[in-house]
Every structure is written in structure tokens, then in C-alpha cells.
Amino acid sequence: MQNQTEPQGPRHWTTRTHRVLGLSSLVFLILISASGLILNHADTLGMSRHAAPGWLLRIYNVEPPPISSAFTAGGVLFATSEQILFADGTELAKNADPLIGAAIFDGGLIAATSNEFFLTSVDAALVERFAPDMAGPMIHLGTDGQRIIVATQKGYVDLDPHHMTLSSVVIEPMDISWSRPVIPTKEQTQQLGAAALGQALNWERVLLDLHSGRILPTAGRYIADITAICLLYMCLTGVMLWFRRR
């Protein structure tokens, strides 16, 4: 029986390069295909709602956003960054203005912006978000030891946190312990920065960058380009091999 050997010449060269490039680019082709498939169902998987972990944030080498405001109440640090309200580094609410204060009351904690209240449990779990109907913005939040007092442009109001109602009150400002902003520690700043970055950098963004090669600033784009060229080459050589074997 005649031995069948692989033909030499152009066919042999095309076959070998097709095989070598196919194997060498296999990992990148799998990454591109898998990331593209997942991105096609990103909304269903809720990937835009899940923050990327800290180790991925370090790959991007980006500076954390600044902290807009920070107050403490009951040992909990309330802070805002990138219009997100955090409690001890955990997201509490989105689209929040800078804080004007935070206070403790019988049964929980309360943080306030110029137009909203955020009522939480003692372990900083959000219970209610309340935007009162007021003529002007709120300026300060404080307590006289029994009541929660809010200073507005038109006077002072007494906040009932259990029923979330406001009533005008006449007080002496000197009798109120007004909430004062704090400067977070280095550890708290790092924790808040990572949390704020994580909200801005979600899994959908990471997969998009992985799919396009932008996850590695310079090398990633070249790797993606080389992989695309290899894929085009394999398509062309595959067609050539098919015609030569007919």
C-alpha cells in the first residue's frame, strides 16, 4: 500500500501556519468569544449592578474619587462620593447630595442632605429615604439630647424619625449639639475610595475592556489586534485548504 504523506510546497506551508496560529491564539479567541457571549446577556445577568473587586481596580491604576462629605453617628461613618451615600464603606443610596449631618436617636441613625433624610437601623441598614416638602434647603442637623433638630433658611424644625414628620419649633441654637463634619482616617478613605471606584467600575465595563483588549492599556490593544489578524488569516487559509483538497 502506498504511504500517504502530507504534500509539500504551498499546501504544506499553509497547513502548518494555519495550525500554529490557531493553537497560539486559542486562549485569546476563547476570551474574546466568551466575553462577547456574556456581554450579549449583560442586562439579564445584571452585570452593570455588580461592582468589580479591589484586585481588578488595581489593574486599572486609577485614583479613587474624592469624598464629598463625611459625618459620624453611633460609631458609623456616613460619607458621600460620586453622588453615592456610603455607611461604613457600604453603599446606602445613589443620587445623594453631600451630607449636612448625621445623628443618633432612639431606635436608629439618621443622615441628612440638603433635601433628604436617610433613616437607618443601628447597624446602618437603610430603613427609609424621605424627601420632605420644605420651602428651602436644610442647612444643619443636630440634637438636644431628645429631639432631632433641623436648621433651615427659614428657621428650625423638629423631626420625628419614627413617623418622618416635621414641625416648626422655637429653640436657642446654643442648646443644640450640631453635627460636625469629620475627616476619615487613612483606612476609611481607602475603603471608601475602593467602594466608590467599584460602583463606577462594574463587571460589564471590565468585560468590555477584556473583549476589546483595553484592560491592559497598551499591550492589550496590540494583543487584540494580533488575535484579530490571526483569526482573519485562519479564515483565509481555511478557505484555501478547503479548495486545495477538493
Give the start-end residues of each E strand in 4-107. Answer: 69-73, 76-81, 84-87, 90-94, 99-105
Tell the residue number behind the cell numbers 436617636, with chain if given: 105
Query: Which pLDDT value is given to residue 213?
Result: 66
Q: What is the mean pLDDT of residues 121-130?
A: 93
Q: Is residue 36 part of a domain?
A: yes
> Which CATH number is 179's domain given?
2.130.10.10
Model confidence band, residue 57 (pLDDT cutoffs 50, 70, 90): low
Model confidence band, residue 98 (pLDDT cutoffs 50, 70, 90): very high
- Whether the CA torsion 143, 146, 151, 152 is positive or negative: it is positive
Query: Which pLDDT value is given to residue 159?
Result: 92
More confident residue, 68 or 202: 68
Query: Which pLDDT value is given to residue 210?
Result: 72
Residue 11 has pLDDT above 60, yes or no: no
Residues 108 and 166 in one domain: yes
Q: What is the mean pLDDT of residues 12-30?
A: 70
Residues 81 and 157 in one domain: yes
Q: How many beta carbons lie within 10 A of that of residue 68, not counting itself? A: 17
Query: Which pLDDT value is given to residue 20?
Result: 73
Residues 177 and 88 in one domain: yes
Q: What is the mean pLDDT of residues 67-90?
A: 93
As a whole number, the mean pLDDT across the chain is 80
- Which residue range is the domain that position 176 belongs to? 69-184
Q: Which of 184, 213, 231 is the last residue of a domain?
A: 184
Q: Which of 132, 151, 184 is the last residue of a domain?
A: 184
Residues 28 and 94 in one domain: no
Query: Which pLDDT value is given to residue 54?
Result: 60
Helices 26-39 and 203-212, packing angle to 10 deg? 140
Contact in structure between 82 and 62 (CB atoms under 8 Å): no
Q: Is residue 217 part of a domain?
A: yes
Q: Which residues contact 96 (CB under 8 A, 6 or more apart)?
A: 80, 83, 84, 85, 113, 116, 118
Residues 207 and 175 in one domain: no
Indicate left, alpha or beta for 117 from its phi (over 0: left) and psi (-120 to 50: alpha): beta
Residues 33 and 77 in one domain: no
Q: Is residue 197 part of a domain?
A: no
Q: What is the mean pLDDT of residues 176-198?
A: 86
Q: Is residue 59 part of a domain?
A: no
Residues 85 and 155 in one domain: yes
Q: What is the mean pLDDT of residues 155-178?
A: 89
Query: Which pLDDT value is given to residue 61?
Result: 64
Tell the residue number behind the cell numbers 494580533, with chain if given: 226
Q: Is residue 194 part of a domain?
A: no
pTM above 0.75, yes or no: no
Q: What is the mean pLDDT of residues 126-147?
A: 89
What's the number of domains the chain is made of?
A: 2
Q: What is the mean pLDDT of residues 202-228?
A: 70
d(CA 152, CA 159): 12
